[in-house]
Structure 1
């Protein structure tokens, strides 16, 4: 196949994933917008609760991402009957991970004590997290369904369910946050009630489709009897999934710790950083979707033992992601003031955020390169070395360098990098290093695959 065909296949698979990801982000935006109209205390509790829940969810769902290359390779090898067994082991893994996550969320006061929040704020945040604990098993179970569909190149139904969930979110949020029809106003924790109900509806809808739709029949997810958890299968998923989950955790905490350090500089600096980070998160969904699609198609090619096609797809995906990121970076740079004004009319905050958009404009390239390459490596079932690269670069160089440049404890940083700009430069440089070393390591992995093929 030509490079153009591979690019078209990646784009065709990526766009439903992108829309689904944007629908998930929109849920958080809706929560924030609606709770902000209830009370400042509930908004603060929501922010505190979400920061803990996201850290737990991202780490655990990252482990389940091991299903993508595993099922993708089986699908490429046309071992359809084995996919059902792997999916069942994935559901068992989701159950075990849910038990761990629920314990963390139920005992959230231990973690909230570090925030030194007021008793009322801590109480609301605790209630929010304990209700979210009810949603976690369903959310992780749906991640297994999403992984199955993405791995067999059928993400449109996942997208449809996610859009349907988003449409339900607004009326359910309004009901549980503000009360009505016999229910009291729950405020911020009402978001968690709505999320829990929707999560279970999504789970039931997804697996009912797997049970009834003809396209899933040959995968033998249903109708093949009860399958107990098997240590060999669980160990194989964990061997790949734990470093993947850690890499997600490292990425999330790198941004979280950035915000904590920048908070020392005052409310204006934090506000400018938050706007920039929010824009960056939305923009990240495009390369993340392309990475998912590229990794899936590479895994399928590997399963078919078509090593040359796997290499061509990886190059096409990385190239497409890089080109689009450059175009987006240029567009963001020229529209930076309009984007910031859509967030706030405050001239002081606008002045704080404007310099940071320089980094948003060019770090998109590094971010797109690293995430697409990381997903390709996962398609080859390689995750440990990339996780080490993430830890050293993002925590060591990104946060460490950002601390030195932004807070200037040694008096060596130039004045224009003092504050949030220093942290953003450190983060951008670390992503550039991650991208460089991951691309280098991918070439090493692909060369080894070719050498093993020649020897065999």
Structure 2
């Protein structure tokens, strides 16, 4: 019971912060939807590209959590500081890569056939958030460090405070006023940029002044790149980041493929996707909390306790996934009204949420499983499963149903439902395979 309470506190704190971050997207979706359906459609496409890039790069840095948590379990605090400094080189390299994609988005817009009328707004949004990426990546390192230490409270307070700043800024810049012209979807991007740099600066100040970080000796002279250590980071982080890239793009690329169906389909899909992403914060928070605790116990040398906690986390994911999926089904006709007053968008979104409920039930299990497998440094097998099922079965299957199969494409004309059917079915298979893989991994380490 003591471990359950520890995990619950950690997961609850992380969840509060993650929901605050997700509220960034919810805020932007509501603000853009109230501004115009065209702005909401442009935001749907632009945020799909940004999230694909950011979350993938974030996954590389998030994968360092087991390393730092194990060092924490061994009591090797100065090693954490040295490792954190080396991780800055990793963050710099991937930040430059991400900025290249976001600041020059034309190849992606052309490949996904985003309508020309939408491209100017999408491009403006992506360029702005591209320049926000350096601060966002540094803050992700700071977040991962705190989670590994078992002290996510400071991060959560910063994320909640950022939301308080984000909401009025998004409204102001989107609708204009007080000397600023209305900027539509781009206004949401400007608000994100200002908020991201504000919390990154505060994080630096905290790292210098808080007693929590003193034993880590973070503020030493920056060492030259340790190529052996960076290679170890990459062996863990790159497959993890690619796995998240596949998972996220199988989700976000749908927005780009749906864009050709028009503003109604794009706006409805954006609301459904936003609600799915909000629900995802629960298993994500649980995965972070349970993997930090499992890695801590592995660092102390107590493998049996680590494995007991792994199965406990999976049971919690099953229960929480079922509860949230049921809630989506019950409230599917009411939740869209929070985002828009358009009756057509509300009706279509309600239909999509029935499939979102199935999607989340599977998502909850597979998310916690993949975090747990990383505790035992298993990253390549999940990547192969993701590529085969999420891209091949989910995204590819949804595209085939929507555009290539004559019967289904005629039935679901101008409707994103086929993509949600493909994604939910594929994710259910992923969850089953991941549970089996986790079972094999734990048996091999008994």
Of 81, 84, 87, the match for 1:90: 87
Aligned match of 1:454: none
Per-residue CA deviations over 1:11-55 (Å, capped at 9, x if unaligned) read 110111111111112112323333455566655544443232222
Quick one: distance in 2 between partners of 1:159 and 1:231? 33
Quick one: distance in 1 between partners of 2:359 and 2:185? 34
Of 298, 302, 326, the match for 1:302: 298
Of 358, 373, 376, the match for 1:377: 373
Of 257, 266, 285, the match for 1:289: 285
Q: Which moved more, 1:406-415 or 1:62-71?
A: 406-415
Quick one: distance in 1 between partners of 2:359 and 2:134? 35
Quick one: distance in 2 between partners of 1:187 and 1:335? 29
User: If you compute each CA radius of gyration, which structure gives the higher value, 1 or 2?
Assistant: 1
Q: Does the CA contact (< 8 Å) of 1:295 and 1:379 recur in 2? A: yes
Quick one: distance in 2 between partners of 1:407 and 1:55? 23
Quick one: distance in 2 between partners of 1:258 and 1:192? 21
With over 3 angstroms needed to count, the CA separation of the structure-2 counterparts of 1:107 and 1:345, relative to structure 1, is closer
Is 1:66 matched with 2:63?
yes
Q: How far did residue 185 of structure 1 move?
A: 4.9
Per-residue CA deviations over 1:227-260 (Å, capped at 9, x if unaligned) read 2221111111111111111111111211234345
Aligned match of 2:149: 152
Aligned match of 2:196: 199
Q: How far did residue 292 of structure 1 move?
A: 1.1
Alignment of 1:17-416 (within 5 A): 17-36=14-33, 43-114=40-111, 121-179=118-176, 185-222=182-219, 224-262=220-258, 269-344=265-340, 348-405=344-401, 409=405
Q: Which moved more, 1:165-174 or 1:108-117?
A: 108-117
Q: Which moved more, 1:337-346 or 1:126-135?
A: 337-346
Is 1:12 matched with 2:31?
no
TM-score, normalisation: structure 1: 0.88
With over 3 angstroms needed to count, the CA separation of the structure-2 counterparts of 1:383 and 1:168, relative to structure 1, is same
TM-score, normalisation: structure 2: 0.90
Q: Which moved more, 1:280-289 or 1:40-49?
A: 40-49
Q: How far did residue 122 of structure 1 move?
A: 3.7
Quick one: distance in 2 between partners of 1:394 and 1:142? 29
Quick one: distance in 1 between partners of 2:420 and 2:31? 30
Aligned match of 1:453: none
Quick one: distance in 1 between partners of 2:139 and 2:55? 14
Q: How far did residue 154 of structure 1 move?
A: 0.6
Q: How far did residue 125 of structure 1 move?
A: 3.5
Q: How far did residue 149 of structure 1 move?
A: 0.3
Q: Does the CA contact (< 8 Å) of 2:56 and 2:248 recur in 1? A: no
Task: Give the 3-state SS of the residue equivalent to 2:222 in structure 1.
Answer: coil
Aligned match of 1:445: 441
Task: Give the 3-state SS of the residue equivalent to 1:336 in structure 2.
Answer: coil
Q: Which moved more, 1:59-68 or 1:43-52?
A: 43-52
Q: Does the CA contact (< 8 Å) of 1:177 and 1:185 recur in 2? A: yes
Gaps of 5+ in 2: none
With over 3 angstroms needed to count, the CA separation of the structure-2 counterparts of 1:309 and 1:413, relative to structure 1, is farther
With over 3 angstroms needed to count, the CA separation of the structure-2 counterparts of 1:285 and 1:416, relative to structure 1, is same
Quick one: distance in 2 between partners of 1:258 and 1:185? 29
Q: How far did residue 312 of structure 1 move?
A: 0.7
Task: Give the 3-state SS of the residue equivalent to 2:335 in structure 1.
Answer: helix
With over 3 angstroms needed to count, the CA separation of the structure-2 counterparts of 1:67 and 1:355, relative to structure 1, is same
With over 3 angstroms needed to count, the CA separation of the structure-2 counterparts of 1:377 and 1:417, relative to structure 1, is farther
Per-residue CA deviations over 1:117-176 (Å, capped at 9, x if unaligned) read 677754443333232222111110000000000111111110100111111113333454
Per-residue CA deviations over 1:378-419 (Å, capped at 9, x if unaligned) read 111211111111111111222333345555727599979996
Q: Does the CA contact (< 8 Å) of 2:265 and 2:414 recur in 1? A: no
Quick one: distance in 2 between partners of 1:430 and 1:135? 33
Q: Which moved more, 1:380-389 or 1:125-134?
A: 125-134
